[in-house]
Amino acid sequence: MALNRKIAYIDLTTGEVQTKPIPLEVRKKFLGGRGLDAYLLYNHTKKGCDPLGPDNVLIISGGILTATCASATARTHVMAKSPLTGMLGSANMGGFFAPELAWAGFHHLVIKGKAEKPSYIYIRNGEIEIRDAGGIWGQSVTDAQWAIRQELGDEEVKSCVCGPAGENLVRFANVMTGIKNSAGRTGMGCVMGSKNLKAVSVRGTMDVQIAHPVEALEYNKQFIDQITGAKVNQTQGVLGTPFIWGATNSWGGIRTRNFQYNQCEYADDIEPERIDEICEETMGPHHMTGCFGCQVHCRAQYKIPEGPLAGRYEEGPEYTSLGAFGAETATPRALTVLTGNHLVDQFGMDNLETGSLISWAMELYELGIITDKETDGLDLSWGNDEAVIEMIERIAYRKGFLGDALADGGIPASKKIGKKSFDYLIQVKGMSNLHSDERATPGLALNVATASRGSDHLRSRPAIDLYHLPEDVLRKIYGNPVPYDGPLSSEHTEYIGKPWQVFWQENLYMGVDCLGICKYHTVFLGVTLPAFEEWSKVLYYNTGIEMTPEEIWDVAVRCNMLERLFNLREGLQRDDLEKGDMLNHRYFDEPCRRGALDVIGRKIDKDKFIQMVDELYEHKGLDKNGNPKPETLQELDLASEPSHLI
């Protein structure tokens, strides 16, 4: 059955491999995917362990529904202690790896130690071996995957790899699979590199038995209709995720020139329609593709149209690449965005962190905080397309003072640069912000400040707050599966009710990550998409586990608290600017300068923001300092953690 998928413990230092079943009691407490990974991380690492040391564990998993009849269960989750933040490291990606891992017999891998020489792990139908990777060390993300397939003589092998950035210990290097599927944020590729682990490769042909196959298939038809019937997914199937950027920039919610402006002007060349034109010109009319088991097909395919890399195949760019290499650096040119997107994918490097740090350096250059001495003569003026592309490579290979400094992340770089450079670094918990600007949206600002892995749009973002939904509709969404009778507001500039929305979304996103389903298939951008009610049914039909929507909610709350416990153990403090639930001062001090009438002049009221944090903590069962109350841990059955059940 689906529940027969095992967990493997792999020690790269000794070569020892152990495989174990996942007890049903553990499944019911944590389900799988990100939730069970949080349990494993908390139980298999010690306080203060070196993120780049052998005692840090790297966990790779699929959700409990991965490779079943449930739609869009392609997500792979990767977790470790983050070398970028020193706290929770967590990343999620689509593609085809997690289903292949399930067909090979596993849902979770716990990798510890450090290989003596470059190595890769090969898994096939329950068997695990550690192989020599000397011949592929140094290769790009795609070249490494093809080399492994050729070595193994099987083009169906799926691999998670680190690129040159991970090998060079860039602290925000990604784990990658396929052309562009990125387990981005928090530096999980750097952890791979620190372990001399180039890849984890899998091939599986084992059956996944479904508990109630007829009902599972029938219900999935409804699931698919619900997903593909949503207007947001229909739009993504045509324009991909860049459509989000186009709408947000028109309104005035895009961070530009680091944090100086909130709208990118003269950006016609990177509007989603223009990107779509280039994709069609270079790949033909049928240029959209997707992940395993997904009907939306939100990923575009393109070839770089001109320049030194003309003709190179790539996928994307995503919403995030348009901001990272277009808006933030004031280079809104398609060629720069498409080339930058290609390079970070090949180097295996986080696009958000890369673009944000380059734009930060550009503002420091403008202010005279860094000069040509620190840039080794590179002109980091706003709008310099060549400098953006050059800095991507310098960071990946740690070239020069600035490339090496930025490769360590913003906070360490600010300490090397000095001169109040930290004041201009837009980050939370050591992770650079998304390219969005939340000064006009208090709910989204609260999400950014309090998300578990640092500044984040994928952990608790109430994106539908921008839709101005009637209060009765909001109550229908946010009062299910647990009742809520507190205040709610349809106005995105309001502060009341936003803490509950952030709390609800946090649990929704944890739930979907435990199941292994894509966030675009739940209430993220579409209000009619599946949530707790549907998950209860799809879980039962595929696995046989009977859980009410309320019980799945409880699992999500429990798993989110585990992530909180890990962060607290590693130094999280409520108001700390480096390791806390706090925003950069510019959110409170500098108003928005562009955009729609409901955006211009907006900034976050700090007193009201603090009240929102207080209220969110109360929803979570935390005290005023952000620590869990004893009764909260008792209610969530976490008082005895770490419990070492597996």
* pLDDT tens digits for range 524-535: 999 999 999 999
Name the residue type at position 83. Answer: P
* pLDDT band with cut points at 50, 70 and 90 for residue 52: very high
Q: Whole-prediction pTM value?
A: 0.97
Report yes or no: 592 and 440 within 8 Å, Cβ to Cβ.
Answer: yes
Here the tokens at position 346 are 């090949």
Q: What is the C-alpha end-to-end distance of the chain, expressed in Å?
A: 20
As a 3-state breakdown, the chain gives helix, strand, coil percent values, each rounded to 5, of 45, 15, 45
Q: How far apart are CA 271 and CA 304, in angstroms?
A: 16
- Residue carrying structure tokens 């700090």: 606
Examine the pLDDT at 324 and tell me if it is beyond 90. Answer: yes
Structural domains in the chain, sorted by start: 2-203 (3.60.9.10), 245-432 (1.10.569.10), 442-635 (1.10.599.10)
Please name the residue that has the structure tokens 């019980």: 551
pLDDT tens-digit map of 138-184 = 999 999 999 999 999 999 999 999 999 999 999 999 999 999 999 99
pLDDT of the residue at 223 = 87
- Distance, CA of 540 to CA of 216 (rounded, Å): 8
Q: What phi, psi does 541 have (nearest 5°)?
A: -60, -35
| pLDDT reported for residue 2 | 74
Model confidence pLDDT, tens digit, residues 421-447: 999 999 999 999 999 999 999 999 999
Alpha carbon 412 to its chain's center:
22
Classify each residue of 20-53 as buried b or exposed e, where b means 16 or more C-beta atoms within 10 Å of its C-beta: eebeeebbebbbbbbbbbbbbbbbbbeeebebbe
Task: Assess whether pLDDT exceeds 70 at residue 350.
Answer: yes
Q: Which of 325, 370, 368, 365 is nearest to 344 (CA)?
A: 325
Among residues 371, 508, 582, which one has the least CA distance to residue 34? 508
Residue 191's pLDDT is 98
Q: What does the alpha-carbon distance between residue 44 and residue 109 come to, in Å, rounded to a whole number?
A: 12
Predicted confidence at residue 630, as pLDDT, reads 98
Q: Is the dihedral of CA 82, 134, 93, 256 positive or negative?
A: positive
Q: Please, what is the average pLDDT of the chain?
A: 97
Question: What mean pLDDT comes out for the span 574-598?
Answer: 97
pLDDT band at 3 (very low <50, low <70, confident <90, very high): confident
Say what the pLDDT of residue 1 is.
61
Helix H or strand E segment including 414 = helix 410-417
d(CA 329, CA 619): 38
pLDDT digits (tens, 9 = 90+) for 64-101: 999 999 999 999 999 999 999 999 999 999 999 999 99
Question: Which pLDDT score, from 0 to 100, does residue 172 have?
Answer: 98
How far is Cα 122 from Cα 364, in angstroms, rounded to an integer? 45
259 Cβ neighbours under 8 A, 6+ residues apart: 363, 424, 426, 437, 584, 586, 590
CB 434 within 8 A of CB 455: yes
Comparing C-alpha atoms, which of 265, 333, 263, 272 is closest to residue 300?
A: 272
Torsions phi, psi of 86, nearest 5? Answer: 75, 5
In order of 18, 416, 432, 582, the CA distances from 185 in angstroms are: 29, 22, 9, 19
The pLDDT value given to residue 79:
98
Asked if residue 391 has pLDDT above 90, the reply is yes
**Tokens found for residue 102:** 């399930």
SS3 460: coil
The torsion angle over the Cα atoms of residues 352, 357, 358 and 364, rounded to 10 degrees, is 150
